[in-house]
Structure 1
Amino acid sequence: MQQLRQDITLLSGIGQLSTTLMGTGLFMIPAIAAGIAGHLSLWAWLILFVAICPIALTFAALGKRYPNAGGTAYFVRQAFSPRLERAVAWLFVSVIPVGVPPAIALAAGFLQPVLPAPLDAPLIAQTLTVALLIGVNLAGSKSSGRLQTLIALSIFTLVAAFFWVGDIGSKDLVMPALNASSLWPIGAALGVMFWCFVGIEAFAHMGEEFKNPQRDFPLAILVGCFVAGATYWACSAVILKFGAYGSPHFDSASIPWLSDKLFGRQMASVISVIGFLACFASINLYTQSLARMVWAQARDYRPKSALARLSSRGVPATATWIVGLVLLVFCGVRELSGLDLELFLKLANGIFVLVYLLAMFAAFKLLNGLAKVLASIALILCTAVFICLGWSMLYALGIFTLLAVPWKKETKSPQQSFDEQ
């Protein structure tokens, strides 16, 4: 049976997760959260980081014990059954038409200003983005990890430059006083900010490719979450000081506006490139994860199919091409139909949170001791967030129910039969 190459180091793992968590969020969420809660958003970031710790630690414990390209689907198989594993696998894959195309559109929006006139159309920019995604993924996880580490460094440099040139001092970092009236705006901001930490479930698919998964995978999750959280908090402090929030314009343009104010118009192209790379990094990990999910299912249930083969670089090439082509089709559908971007994001968020919730259910059954306690806390947190999703929760539940129904007699995979021996 073919196995993925173990090329990911601790440093590249931290780079991949931190850039994925920041990705598109850094250019939108701090300004949106500040518009909701003002300076109280600084408290909201700290609360969110504390709340995400049990979830991150639970994923770390699962990945350390069960490093597998199947990610959450594999955890669910170990805890429950192959039928539920397949339901979770295809639930995650179902995010392709609704979740990734909007992110590609946002990345292409940063790319358009630096493209020459014949190529600066939205659909062409999105096609180029998808082509770059396929190329980077076919190059292998080692090359992808190096690229995302460089992107992470560029993001940190940008935020550090804002801090330095913006003369952020101790008075700008003073936490506002809390009272009873603070609870509502902080809670409302948290509902938006949670999506900054969507991405851990995708990173779980990379556990099998770590050189030392038992040691480095948990550390990569913990350090990556800390780095992303600290960067979000620092960026929020800059946005609050200069008042780059409070209007729809700032929701997606706070970083370019700050760049113009602090560095002048000559930095516009640099910001466009960094914005594109940050968005690209987030999409890149999801593309890798989706391809590996398809490959893992083929490896376990159709081991002789083309989908189960690896390239000379140890990459699921056929699965990567299929994911890329499906992305391209749905990017075209979204662009030509003119459907609301927010609608796609809400549908995707429902799927992501349900995947988190199912992972926590699996962890509660599989783990013991302190890890089980953390899984219990994470399960409660994910349940609360899932309920708060409203109607988009129903979309995710509907897809999962259709996938989980035993439409035909259960059959055991070769891997399942091997595991029982």
Structure 2
Amino acid sequence: MALYVCAILGAGVLVFPGQAASLAGPASLVAWGSSALMGLPLAFTFAALASRFPDSGGVATFAAKAFGPSAGGIAGWWYFIAGSVGQTIVPLTAGYYVAAVLGLEQRWAPAIAAIVLAVAVVANLAGLKLGARVQIALAIGVAAILLVVILVALPQIRFENFTSFAPHGVPGIGQAIVVLFFAFAGWEAIAHLSAEFRDVRRTLPRATLLTILIVTVLYLGVAFAVVGTGSYGTRALDRISLGAIIEHGLGLSASGVVAIAAVVICLGTTNAFVASVSRLGYALARDGWAPSLLSGRNRHGAPHFSIFAVGVIGAAGLIGAALFGWGTDDIVFVPSVLVLATYLLGTAAAARLFDRGLRVLALVAVALLLVTVPFAGWHLLVPPVIAMIALSAHWLARASRRRRGESA
């Protein structure tokens, strides 16, 4: 449950309430509510898949069982890239908050983010047991921090902040929902760790239900606080909207606490996703869809080369942020649309693999996901491009192995 909470209530809760409000106005609450409702069938569909087919491949394994190995490889690469790019976005969010508190320019945020990413990589190299202990403490810290933000915001909420409810209409709400796919990304993440759970069939459904309750209350509460206090509207304010609420409510002396909160939340999310995505990289290598190097494990049982690969991709994004001024709002649509594509393929796989009630649940999830697809715009080109690259690379690798075998 701690891994689930930190996988979902992560950096998104720090930057996406402001970003979604800027896209949709107060109607961003509709986007949050829609995403939360969409999360119900998604959460239980992926919990059912992980309980039935526990494997580090996660969605890639489910897609392969339903539609064949090519579908599994494509799903795996969609999520691997989405999760790895996310390790630019999540630590960078912590960098924004810390830089603001220290009075530094935002160009220093990538350097601060690199420290957060490095800590998560080192923790995962030490093995999942250490990571899980850290995760429990971080999950408690995340929930407590968000509750404080909600309580501090209550006296600041003004009715006039809810007028002009949908200034950008339905398209604004739709774009906000697409952005929030990354905020709610995480239901599938724990599937990659399911093979390492002691009793997955018993524990995962319980953890899913409890996490849904916690996530829904905290996400909607924080989104309401940001809209009700008007703590959004500019790119700089959107990035630190929760910090603005705390500062206005408790005074500037609270700024240090806000920075610590941001680091705790982002470290929790980074730790959870480095664990999840690295297991997927291991599974892709095991199944011949990634270089065999990624299938290696260290003495703690951690897939160390795959962990390093996730860290390197995240660090590359941070270098881009430092050199070219990329922000989370520039990057987020890429992993969001890849998560959307992964969800579609994963829920379609569930509809084929299950029968009766679980099939209906999966079909409901598919239908809800399809409603949001048109709002992704040109970013819909990203998943098919990655699919073609993955299939071409896999075909070339097989052809090369075949030629070496014939020459031998």
TM-score range, shorter chain: 0.7 to 0.9
Partner in structure 1 of residue 329 of structure 2: 342
Partner in structure 2 of residue 267 of structure 1: 254
Distance 1:194 1:303 in 2: 26
2:177 corresponds to 1:190 = yes
SS at match of 1:349: helix
2:267 corresponds to 1:280 = yes
Name which of 295, 308, 313 aligns with 1:321.
308
Deviation at 1:127, TM superposition (A): 2.9
Is the contact between residue 21 and residue 282 of structure 1 (CA under 8 Å) also seen in structure 2? yes
2:317 corresponds to 1:359 = no
Q: Which amino acid aligns with 1:314?
A: G
Change (3 A) 1:365 1:331: same
Distance 1:396 1:408 in 2: 20
Deviations for 1:238-260, whole angstroms, at most 9, x for unmatched residues? 33443323444431222111111
Distance 2:154 2:8 in 1: 26
Partner in structure 2 of residue 146 of structure 1: 133
2:372 corresponds to 1:385 = yes
Partner in structure 2 of residue 4 of structure 1: none
Change (3 A) 1:84 1:388: same
Name which of 392, 395, 399 aligns with 1:407.
395
Is the contact between residue 30 and residue 235 of structure 1 (CA under 8 Å) also seen in structure 2? yes
Unaligned runs of 5+ residues in structure 1 are 1-13, 412-421
Q: Which amino acid aligns with 1:125?
A: I
Q: Which amino acid aligns with 1:373?
A: V
Distance 1:189 1:90 in 2: 25
Is the contact between residue 49 and residue 229 of structure 1 (CA under 8 Å) also seen in structure 2? yes
Name which of 234, 242, 245 aligns with 1:255.
242
Partner in structure 1 of residue 360 of structure 2: 373
Q: Report which stretch shifted further, 363-372 or 281-290.
A: 281-290
Change (3 A) 1:215 1:262: same
1:12-411 → structure 2 map (5 Å cutoff):
14-35=1-22, 39-95=26-82, 98-112=85-99, 121-167=108-154, 187=174, 189-301=176-288, 307-339=294-326, 341-404=328-391, 407=395
Change (3 A) 1:168 1:18: farther
Change (3 A) 1:60 1:264: same
SS at match of 2:188: helix
Q: Report which stretch shifted further, 351-360 or 123-132.
A: 123-132
Corresponding pairs, count:
392
Deviation at 1:96, TM superposition (A): 6.1
Q: Which amino acid aligns with 2:395?
A: W
Q: Report which stretch shifted further, 104-113 or 73-82.
A: 104-113
Partner in structure 2 of residue 11 of structure 1: none
Is the contact between residue 58 and residue 375 of structure 1 (CA under 8 Å) also seen in structure 2? yes
Deviations for 1:117-171, whole angstroms, at most 9, x for unmatched residues? 9xx9444323322321211111222222222222222222223334444556999
Distance 1:37 1:238 in 2: 15
Change (3 A) 1:283 1:350: same
Distance 1:154 1:403 in 2: 39
Deviation at 1:276, TM superposition (A): 1.7
Q: Which amino acid aligns with 2:145?
A: L
Is the contact between residue 6 and residue 269 of structure 2 (CA under 8 Å) also seen in structure 1? yes
Distance 1:150 1:346 in 2: 30
Distance 1:136 1:17 in 2: 17
Is the contact between residue 117 and residue 267 of structure 2 (CA under 8 Å) also seen in structure 1? no
Deviations for 1:195-233, whole angstroms, at most 9, x for unmatched residues? 321222222211112111111122223322331121011
Q: Which amino acid aligns with 1:130?
A: L
Deviations for 1:380-417, whole angstroms, at most 9, x for unmatched residues? 22223233211111111111133235735979xxxxxx
Distance 1:342 1:36 in 2: 11
Change (3 A) 1:185 1:335: closer
Is the contact between residue 244 and residue 250 of structure 1 (CA under 8 Å) also seen in structure 2? yes
- TM-score using structure 2 length: 0.84
Q: Which amino acid aligns with 1:26?
A: V
CA RMSD of aligned residues (A): 3.4
Q: Report which stretch shifted further, 322-331 or 34-43.
A: 34-43
Deviations for 1:340-385, whole angstroms, at most 9, x for unmatched residues? 6434222222211111111012111101111101111111222232
Change (3 A) 1:196 1:305: closer
Change (3 A) 1:332 1:306: same
Distance 1:78 1:237 in 2: 41
Is the contact between residue 24 and residue 172 of structure 2 (CA under 8 Å) also seen in structure 1? yes
Change (3 A) 1:141 1:182: same
Distance 2:343 2:229 in 1: 36
Distance 1:339 1:35 in 2: 18
- Report the identity percentage: 26
